[in-house]
Chain A
Amino acid sequence: MKKHDNLITYAVVIAAYAVFQILAATGNLSSHMKGLLVPMTYYAVIAVALNLCVGILGELSIGHCGFMCIGAFTSAFFSKLTEESLPGPLRFFLAFVIGIAFAALFGFLIGIPVLRLKGDYLAIVTLAFGEIIKNVINAFYIGVDSKGFHFSLKNSMELGMEKEGNLIVNGAMGITGTPHDSNFTVAIVVLLISLFVVLNLVKSRDGRAIMAVRDNNIAAEATGINVTRYKMMAFVISAAIAGAAGVLFSHNITTLTASSQYFGFNASIMILVYVVLGGIGNIRGSVIAACVLYLLPELLRGLNTYRMLIYSIVLIVMMIVNWSPKVIEWRKRVTSSLRRA
C-alpha cells in the first residue's frame, strides 16, 4: 500500500460529500435522491465492516446484517426511552455508544463458536446467527411504565402494563417513531471514522498479525501469533462497525422492523456483493462499490420493471469479466498487442 493511499480514500469520501451537498444546495438533487444519501452511506459503512471480516480476516460472513440489526434495535430502544429526558445531540451520541457496544458484545459472543469453524461451515453459521437474531427480535415485546420494564415473547397483552405505559418494542411491528436524528453529515462522519479505524488497523502491528492469520494460520501460530485473539479482534471490530451502520439505519426510518428485506440473509448477501465487486481486501473499493451499486438500481428506476433484471445481468457479466482466468488472459493479450502497435 502506498504512502498516501489512505489520504486519497478520505479525500474521495469528502469530495463526494461536497459534490452531493453542492448539488443539494443548488437544487439539482431530487427529493428522492436526497433520501438515498443516508442509506447509501450506511451501506458503505457496513461494506467496510464486512470487508474487514472477509478481506482482511479472510472469513466469509453472510450474517453481517444481524449485527446491524442489533445496533439498530438497541440504539432505537435507547432513543425512544430517553426521547424526552435527554437533549438531541447527546442522546444520539449515546445511542451510537450503545448500538456499537451491543453489536460488539454480540460479535464477541457469536465469535466464540463461529471462529472455531472453517470456510463454508463458518459462513453458514454466520448466516444462521443472522437469521436467529432477526427471528428473536421479531418475537420481542418490551414495554415500560411506572413499575419498570415489562417483557414478553408472546404478545403485547401479556406485558400487563398500566394504561399510560409505553410499548417500545412491539414484536414483528418493531419500534415505531424513533427520533429522526440521522442526516447525511453524521453518516459521512461515521463513514470517515470507520475508514480511519479499519485503515489504521490494517497498517498496524495487529493488522499485520490478522493478515498473517488469513494467509496461513499455521505459519502464523508457529511464529507466536495468538490466532484466536486476532481473529476475535477483527471480528468484534467488524461487528461494532456494522452496529454503527445500524444506528444510522434506525434513526433514519420511522418504523423499524426486523424484516428480511433489511436484515435477512439476502441483505447480508447484497453487502457481500458490494465487497466482492469493490475488491476483496480493498477498503476504498468497498465504499465506491457500495455507493455505485446502491444507486444503480435506483438510477435504473426509469426502466421500471427491467431494472433488477439489468442489475443481475450486470452483476454476472462484471464477475466474469473481472475474475474469469480466460478473460483475464485475453485482456492481457489485447493490452500487450495494443502496446506493441
Chain B
Amino acid sequence: MSFLTYLISGLSLGSIYAIIALGYTMVYGIAKMLNFAHGDFIMVGCYIIFSVSGALAGNSLVGIVVAIILCTLLGITTEFVAYRPLRGAASPLAVLITAIGVSYFLENVALLIFGADIKSFTSVIKWEGLTFADGQLRIQGVTIVTILVSLLVLLVLQTFIKRTKQGQAMLAVAEDKGAAALMGINVNQTIMLTFAIGSALAAIAGALLCSAYPSLSPYTGAMPGIKAFVAAVLGGIGSIPGAMIGGLLLGIVEILSKTYISSQLSDAIVFGILVIVLLVRPTGILGKVIQEKV
C-alpha cells in the first residue's frame, strides 16, 4: 500500500515536471534555443500568486489568473528584448548565455523585492483529497488536481497544434524557418506565441509546484527547471508526448529512489537514467532520428 502512495506522489511530481517540460520542449522545438530562464518564470509565477493572494486575503484563484497573464507578458517581453535580437547570431551559444543573463536578472529582482528568506506558500488547492481502503491509502487533493491538470494541458496542447492554423504554423516553423516564411507564415509572431504559451504553462506549473512543496525562495524554480529540461530531453526534445512521458518517468524515479534507495543519491540516479536512455536512444524516447547528410 505504501508503494502505491509513493508511486502516486511520484506521478504527481512527474506531472509538474511534465508541464514545465512542455514549455521547454515547445520553445526548443521552435526557437531552437534552451531557455535557461524558464525555471525562473515558475518562480515569478509563484511570487505573483503569493502576493496577490496575500493582498486579497487568500483568494488564490484570482492570483493564478493574474500570474498566468503576467507570466505570459513576461515571456513575450523577454523574447522581444533579449532573444529576438540574437536570432541568426553566428553562434547558437550567444542566446544561451543571454538566457542565463535573464535567469540571473529575474532571480535578483525577486531577491530585491522579496528578500532571500523562504516564504511559506499557502496551497491554492483547498480540497483535502480522497481516502481509500479504510484510510490506508490517502491521496491528497493537490496530487489529484496536479495529475488532472497536466493531462488537460497535454490534451489542449495536442489539439491546438494538430487542429488550429496557429498550431500548424508552429510545426512548420519548427521544421524549417525559411520555408515557413516563404509560405506566408509570420515566423516572429509564431515564436512569440510559443513563448507566451510556454510562460503561461510555467505559471500553472508554479502554482502546482508551490502547492505541493510550499516553500518559496528566489531560487525555487532553478532545480525543477533543470529537471524538467532533463525530462524534455529524456522524452525526445521537441516532442510533446515525449515531454509528458519524460516528466512522469523522472518524477516517479525521483520519488521511488528517494524512498527506497537514498535521498542523498536520488538526483544522481535521476541523471544516471538520463545517461542510460540517451546511450540507447541518442535522441530520447520519442525523439526523431535525423539522418546526417554530407
Contact = CB atoms under 8 A, between A and B. Distances in A.
Contacts of A319: 86, 94-95, 97-98, 101
A143 to B, nearest CB: 18
B230 interface: yes
A276 B275 contact: no
Given A265-B226, A320-B85, A128 B97 contact: no
Nearest to B36: A269
Interface in A131-150: 131-132, 135-136, 138-139
A135 B82 contact: no
A319 B96 CA distance: 10
B101 A312 contact: yes
A93 interface: no
A24 interface: no
B89 A325 contact: yes
A107 to B, nearest CB: 15
Contacts of B112: 305-306, 309
A309 B82 contact: no
A172 B262 CA distance: 14
A135 B267 contact: yes
B55 interface: no
B176 interface: no
Given A135-B267, A306-B112, A313-B105, A324 B233 contact: no
Given A139-B264, A323-B91, A312 B104 contact: yes
A203 interface: no
Interface string A255-299: 000000000011001001100110010000000000000000000
A316 B282 CA distance: 32
Chain A contact-residue range equals 35 or more
A311 B101 CA distance: 8
B215 interface: no
Interface string B260-276: 00101101100110110
Given A128-B230, A131-B267, A132-B268, A316 B82 contact: yes
A135 B254 CA distance: 14
Interface stretch (A1-9, A98-106, A118-126, A173-181): A118-126
Interface string A305-334: 110110111011001101111110000000
B273 to A, nearest CB: 9
B294 interface: yes
A327 B34 contact: no
Given A131-B268, A132-B272, A309 B86 contact: no
B93 interface: yes
A123 to B, nearest CB: 8
Q: Is the interface of A mostly helix, strand, loop or mixed?
A: helix
Contact of B279 (A113, A138, A265): A113
Interface string B92-128: 0111111011101101110110000000000000000
A175 to B, nearest CB: 17
B283 interface: yes
A319 to B, nearest CB: 5
Interface residues of B, number: 49
A276 B97 contact: yes
Nearest to B78: A316
A113 B272 CA distance: 12
Nearest to A133: B268
Nearest to B279: A113
B284 to A, nearest CB: 8
B222 interface: yes
A36 B88 CA distance: 38
Contacts of A193: none
A14 interface: no
A13 to B, nearest CB: 24
Contacts of B264: 135, 138-139, 153, 171-172
B150 to A, nearest CB: 22
A313 B226 CA distance: 22
A320 B89 CA distance: 9
B122 to A, nearest CB: 27
Given A132-B268, A305-B112, A325-B89, A125 B101 contact: no
9 contacts: A117-B278, A127-B226, A127-B271, A128-B271, A129-B271, A129-B275, A305-B112, A312-B105, A320-B82
Listed from nearest, the 8 A-B pairs whose CB atoms lie closest are A312-B104, A128-B271, A315-B101, A323-B94, A135-B268, A312-B105, A316-B101, A324-B85
Given A121-B282, A125-B274, 17 more contacts: A54-B93, A113-B279, A120-B28, A121-B233, A128-B272, A129-B271, A129-B275, A138-B264, A153-B264, A265-B226, A272-B93, A272-B96, A308-B107, A308-B111, A309-B105, A316-B82, A323-B86
